[in-house]
Amino acid sequence: MLSFTPDERKVILFLITVALIGLGINFTIKINSPIKKFITVEANIAKLNINQVNLEDLLQSQCVTAKLAKKIIEYRDSHGRFSDLEELKEVKGIGDYRYEKLKELFFVE
């Protein structure tokens, strides 16, 4: 077995005591500290149906500016429902680059 000198036993006992006190303090702080921040779920997790989305929902998305959101709604109102996402490219202000970003945000049903 392990045989320690009396001084080594004191050092080991001291280190174990310090570790246990540290764990106790950490636990006490976690239990008694007030909640500083709540975890919130982003509203933009799910894809939006381009044929049913309203102006407010479009404005909340990060990829669509207010001007572009109005253009999308106006296009849908004047041309009818989108048949596929490619039709978004026909909206003035949506080119290939912006379409690549928007196709992750929308779906057509």
* CB count in 10 Å sphere of residue 50: 22
Give the pLDDT confidence score for residue 43 in this predicted structure.
47
Smallest Cα–Cα separation from 69: which of 94, 45, 87, 86? 94
Q: Which of 89, 108, 85, 106 is nearest to 97 (CA)?
A: 89
Q: Tell me, what's the pLDDT at 38? A: 55
Nearest-Å Rg of the Cα atoms of the chain is 30
Sketch out the chain's domains with CATH numbers: 48-107 (1.10.150.280)
pLDDT in single tens digits along all 109 residues of the chain: 688 999 999 999 999 999 999 999 999 988 887 766 555 545 445 788 999 999 988 888 777 889 999 999 999 999 999 999 999 999 998 888 888 888 888 888 8
Structural contact between residues 88 and 94, judged by C-beta atoms closer than 8 angstroms: yes
